[in-house]
Amino acid sequence: MSDYGGDDGGEPDQVYDDAEPEVDFIDEPHSANGSPQPEGQEDPYEKRQAGEGGQTPGQNVAAAGDPSAAAARAGKNTVQGLKDKKVPNEKRTTTPYMTKYERARVLGTRALQISMNAPVLVDIEGLTDPLQIALRELQERKIPLVVRRYLPDGWYEDWTCEELL
């Protein structure tokens, strides 16, 4: 049916063939990546995963995005590269105030942790709602979370909830 309420200009409805050919896929040998594998040949994917053939896993990964950024990343371990981009605490430039977005994220994360039976760090005095308990922890500055603020140049600053006002 068309958008205008007609029946598509009087064209007949398409007829679909319900009789599909029966194909037995079970008898064909398959490799680890799902493609059919001829008999008598080894799967090169499984060989790479095992570390054989002179290649390490992940060596054949194509980098998407900026080629210059991929070239800069190629020599570094990603975890080490991230640690190199941390701004020291004495050189932080962002404000020491928690934004409403950070506050919402911290409260939601902490409330989820409390609802999953994480230890509560304040006296709950009969409170049962995890969000109310998280609010009380934030008021008393007892939330054990770190806010990571990413800067436009790729560096980041870590602030504890106790440091943010």
Distance CA 51, CA 163 (A): 47
Give residue 126's domain range.
78-160
Q: Point out the least confidently predicted range of 21-30, 64-73, 105-114.
A: 64-73
Distance CA 67, CA 88 (A): 29
Q: Which residue has the higher pLDDT, 66 or 136?
A: 136
Q: Where are the alpha helices (DSSP H) in 3-156?
A: 44-50, 67-74, 78-84, 100-115, 130-139
Residue with tokens 């979370």: 145
Q: Which residue has the higher pLDDT, 26 or 44?
A: 26
Q: Which residue has the higher pLDDT, 76 or 56?
A: 76
- What CATH number did the domain enclosing 109 receive? 3.90.940.10
Domain count of the fold of the chain: 1
The answer to the question of residue 132 being in a domain is yes
pLDDT tens-digit map of 51-62: 555 545 444 454
Q: Which residue has the higher pLDDT, 141 or 25?
A: 141
Q: Above 90 in pLDDT, residue 92?
A: yes
The answer to the question of residue 19 being in a domain is no
Average model confidence (pLDDT) for the chain?
77
The answer to the question of residue 62 being in a domain is no
